[in-house]
Structure formats: structure tokens, C-alpha cells
Structure 1
Amino acid sequence: MRRPLLAALLVLLLAGCTQGPDDKPGPRWQPRPGTAWQWQLSGRLDTSVDVPVYDIDGFDHSEATVARLHREDRKVICYLSTGAWEEFRPDAEKFPQAVLGRGNGWQGERWLDIRRIDVLEPLMAARMDMCRDKGFDAVEPDNMDGYRNDTGFPLTAADQLRYNRLIARLAHDRGLAVGLKNDLDQIPELAGDFDFAVNEQCAQYDECGALKPFVEAGKAVFHVEYEVPTGDFCAESRRLRLSSLLKKYELGAWRQAC
């Protein structure tokens, strides 16, 4: 009579260890203000930079790369473009022409009609699944301020808020932290929906003060300048508790940290 009892116990144990479809993901990673990081989106990945956070391209890197960084006690952010179409991505043909707008200034990229949530939600959900399945801890969704650009669509601030909150929810539903990329004007409305911020060139344009709501909420601001030397922005970055780097536009391995 022992075997049936043992088998039943084993089934119960396995059931307890398996996350069901209605179970919510566990606690998300929450990077704190001042956390050091590396942002590399091109070239051979240099894993020798001694920082606790790496932000790398989600499509270009494998589960094995993420696992290797984890073994070195690093958290890993999955870079994705969620507001613009990129012709060089493996899922590019899944985006219908009707949602493709004007170029966003980068070769092979076009703004997306973020009003078309019916089309974009399943496509972005699949990308979030990829980040989760590769073991990433968080997502950096790019091109999150189309409403302030010449996209070819009559996008409004309300359209952008709705879409950005959708992207945050898709990440959170998969247990991933998510960062708000730029979109400074909507930080007061969106800081509560996102776990950290990623900003480009706030020092150059004298906008870094707009990121205070994230820091005041105990959330990291990962910040990069391209044209301003570190001597001109690092003192202010330290005062504001930003995680600041000087990088080149191609976002290779080279960096200068504050």
C-alpha cells in the first residue's frame, strides 16, 4: 500500500511546484537609484565591465548569454523597440503596412501607429515572451514618445499613455521589470507604472530634473550622454542620484561612468 501513497504525495509536490496559468509571477526586480550599469547594443558583447546591471539587445543575445551574466551576479535588461518597426528583426514581416509610419531617423526603422493596439499587443506580447524565456530580468522598451514626433499618424498624449501602460502591463504580467524610455513630459503620469527610467541626453537639454519622480520613488534612472563631457554633467548626476554614462552613439562597449 505504500506505492500509491508515495505516488499521490509526488503528484501533490509537483503540483505545488508548478505555476498554473492563473498564478501571478513572483516579485519583480527593482533597481535602486545610483545602481551602476552598462549599456551595449552593438559589437561583440564585453562582459568584463564590473557593474551589477547590463542592458543588451533582446534579439541579438541568447539564453546562454543571459545565464552567463547571471552567474556573474548581474541583472540583465532586454532592449526592445516597442514604438518603432525595425526591418532587420526576425518578426518584421508580421507587422502590417497599415501600422508603419514615417522613418524615425534610424536606417530601416519606422514609427508605429500605437493606436492600433489590436494589432500591436500580440506582437509585443510575443517579444516580451522572448525576453522572459531567455531569462532576462527586465525590459527596456524604446521609442516610447512617438506622439511628440512626426510619425505620420495623429497620435495624442492620451494615445501614448494608453500604449505605454500596455507595454508596462505586458512586462509585469511576465514577471519582468520595465523601464520608461525618455518620454519626460509624461513622467508624472507614468512613474507609478514603471520600475525604472532610461534617459538619453537630459543633461545636454537641461531636462534631468524631470526624472526626480523616479528617484524619489526609490527607482533607478539609467542615464546616457553622447555629446557632453563627463566633467560637465557628472556632478549634477551625482546630486540627482542618476546612474550616468558617457557613450558613443553606436552604443558599443566603450563607456565613461560618472
Structure 2
Amino acid sequence: MNTRTLLTAVSLLLLLAGCGTAPDDRSGSEGEGADRWRPRPGIGWQWQLSGRLDTSVDVPVYDIDGFDQSEKTVTALHRDGRKVICYLSTGAFEDWRPDAGDFPGSVIGKGNGWEGERWLDIRATDVLEPLMAARIDMCRDKGFDAVEPDNMDGYKNTTGFPLKAADQLRYNRLIARLAHDRGLSVGLKNDLDQIPALVDDFDFAVNEQCAQYDECADLTPFIEADKAVFHVEYELPTGDFCAESRRLKLSSLLKKYELGAWRRAC
């Protein structure tokens, strides 16, 4: 009897005896993600992408840079009872990242307004899928709980490519699947117009400046689905948006554009 047959026989005997269950062959895919973290509306968080990481903020969720922060840092945050989100840019090229040389020029478009960043041709999934899979593998291997994929609304911007809404939906769902296949939860970053189509594909949302542009109500499908909305403003004082944020059950912060440690929470 080979090892596989022996294990199967033992499992059947356990089942018949009422002493156990058959082996659970979980692949970590979206359909089998019962154990995947799903943050609920109103949960507190800290978002820090620059400067020396301040781990003293008393909140249950940290959102930090996936490349810059180490497995040791993620482990320490877990030890303190925090969940940790891995920030990645999935829709834009960043010329300082260690994998920048892996991106062919054919998929690199116009600048997105931030130094060293340029939009990607998200239609080229044959090129981008393995690159993004490797990045999300990094998040998983460092022990992150979730991914925050940035620049997920290129079709609404001047990218240098004729991107359409259907291209964005297809790409955003690809990123969600890559995260879910690795047992990670994933957030929809901005892309407000496509929330009704994508809310079921994502576990939470991350939004910038919905109060400034009077768009926060567009995020209610996530709240109604019992999924957190992590929200920041940069230019409005907290007195101008916190009352509405609390009413809508958003997890809202005032931050500076460099996204250092400084924060004011609602």
C-alpha cells in the first residue's frame, strides 16, 4: 500500500469512527477563503508609507509599504495584535523598486503625477500578471494579511494607452484573484465609479479625498456589505469631514501627502 492510499484509508477509518474529518485540501482560492481577514466598518487604522515606521499608534490595522518593510516588522505588528496591509502599486511603474528592470518599455506609459511613477498598460496581462503575482507572493511570504493595490483607476486618467472601463474591471479582478489565491484579503483603491461592479470581488476599500470631492456616499456599497472603508483626507480639517465619516461608518484619517507617521483620526 503506498503512502497516499494509506492516508486515505486512515482518514476513512477516522470518519467511520466519528473521530475526525477528511483532510482539508485548501488551495487558498477565493471560493475557499473562509479564514481570510475581512475588516468591518469603523475599524481604526494607521497608514504610513514614508519615514521610520512608528509602531506605537494604538490601532488594530496598519497599512505599510510591502517592499520597504520586512517580515520582522510584520511579525512584530502581529505580536502586538495588529493586522497588516501590504501597500503595492499595481497600476503604475515605479522606477526605484527592485523589480523595475523586469517591466518592458512597451507597458510603461505617461507619468501619473508622482516622481518616478508612470502608468502601466493594464491590457497587457500576459506581461503584468506574473510580475504582480511575484509582488503579492512577497506580501504573503512576509506574513501580511492583506494587499492594498494602488493606481487601480488608470482608465479614468491620461495614461498613454486607450484604456477602457472593461479593461480596468478585468485587471482589478485579476489583482483581487491573485491576492485571494494566496490567502490574502484585498482592497479596492479609489475607482469609485466601478464600486457597484467590484464590491463583491474585494474585501475592503481604500479611498483618498472622497470628502473633498463630495464622493463619500459612493462608498456605501462596501459599508452595506459589512466591509471596511479606509479613508484619508489631506486638505480638509477634521471638523469638515469627521461627522459625516462617522455617520457613514468610514475609518477616516487626516494625513499629510507624504504619508508619514503623523495622523489625526476621526
TM-score normalised by the chain length of structure 2: 0.89
Q: Which amino acid aligns with 2:107?
A: V
Q: Aligned residue for 2:174?
A: 166
Distance in 2 (CA, whole Å) between partners of 1:93 and 1:217 is: 40
Q: Aligned residue for 1:130?
A: 138
Q: Aligned residue for 2:215?
A: 207
Question: Deviations 1:134-186 (Å, cap 9, x if unpaired)?
Answer: 00000000000000000000000000000000000000000000000000000
Residue 63 (1) aligns with residue 65 (2): no
Over the matched positions of the two proteins, sequence identity in percent amounts to 80
Distance in 2 (CA, whole Å) between partners of 1:66 and 1:23 is: 21
Question: After TM superposition, where is structure 1 displaced by more than 6 Å over at least 4 residues in a row?
Answer: 18-21
- Measure how far apart 1:23 and its partner are: 6.4
Aligned residues: 247
The one of 117, 120, 125 aligned to 1:117 = 125
Q: Which amino acid aligns with 1:126?
A: A
Distance in 1 (CA, whole Å) between partners of 2:153 and 2:28 is: 32
- Measure how far apart 1:20 and its partner are: 6.6
Residue 252 (1) aligns with residue 256 (2): no
The one of 66, 72, 75 aligned to 2:80 = 72
Question: Deviations 1:162-216 (Å, cap 9, x if unpaired)?
Answer: 0000000000000000000000000000000000000000000000000000000
Q: Which amino acid aligns with 2:137?
A: D
Residue 53 (1) aligns with residue 29 (2): no
Q: 1:22 to 1:229 in 2, by over 3 A?
A: closer
Q: Aligned residue for 1:3?
A: none
Residue 89 (1) aligns with residue 76 (2): no
Distance in 1 (CA, whole Å) between partners of 2:237 and 2:247 is: 17
Q: 1:71 to 1:23 in 2, by over 3 A?
A: closer
Distance in 2 (CA, whole Å) between partners of 1:23 and 1:134 is: 17
- CA-based RMSD of the aligned residues comes to 1.9
Q: Aligned residue for 2:3?
A: none
Q: Which amino acid aligns with 1:210?
A: D
- Structure 1 residue runs of 5 or longer lacking an equivalent are 1-7
Tell me the secondary structure at the aligned position of residue 205 of structure 2: strand
Distance in 2 (CA, whole Å) between partners of 1:85 and 1:22 is: 30
- Measure how far apart 1:55 and its partner are: 0.1
Q: Which amino acid aligns with 2:244?
A: E
- Structure 2 residue runs of 5 or longer lacking an equivalent are 1-5, 12-20
- Measure how far apart 1:19 and its partner are: 8.6
